[in-house]
Amino acid sequence: MLTMGKRDSNDFERADFGMSSGAAETARGAATTGEKTIIGEHLSIEGTIRASEDVVIEGNVKGTIEIKSSQLTVGSKGKVEADVEADSVVIGGRMIGNVTAKNKVHVLKNADFSGQIKAKRIAVEDGAFVKASIELEKDEKPQQQAAPQKPHAAGPAVDLSKVQKPEFAKG
| Burial (CB count within 10 angstroms: exposed 0-12, middle 13-18, buried 19+), residue 87 | middle
Beta bridge partners of 132: 115
pLDDT exceeds 60 at position 87: yes
Mean pLDDT value of segment 61-87: 96
pTM above 0.85, yes or no: no
pLDDT, tens digit (0-9, with 9 covering 90-100), for 123-152: 999 999 999 999 999 877 655 655 555 555
pLDDT exceeds 50 at position 22: no
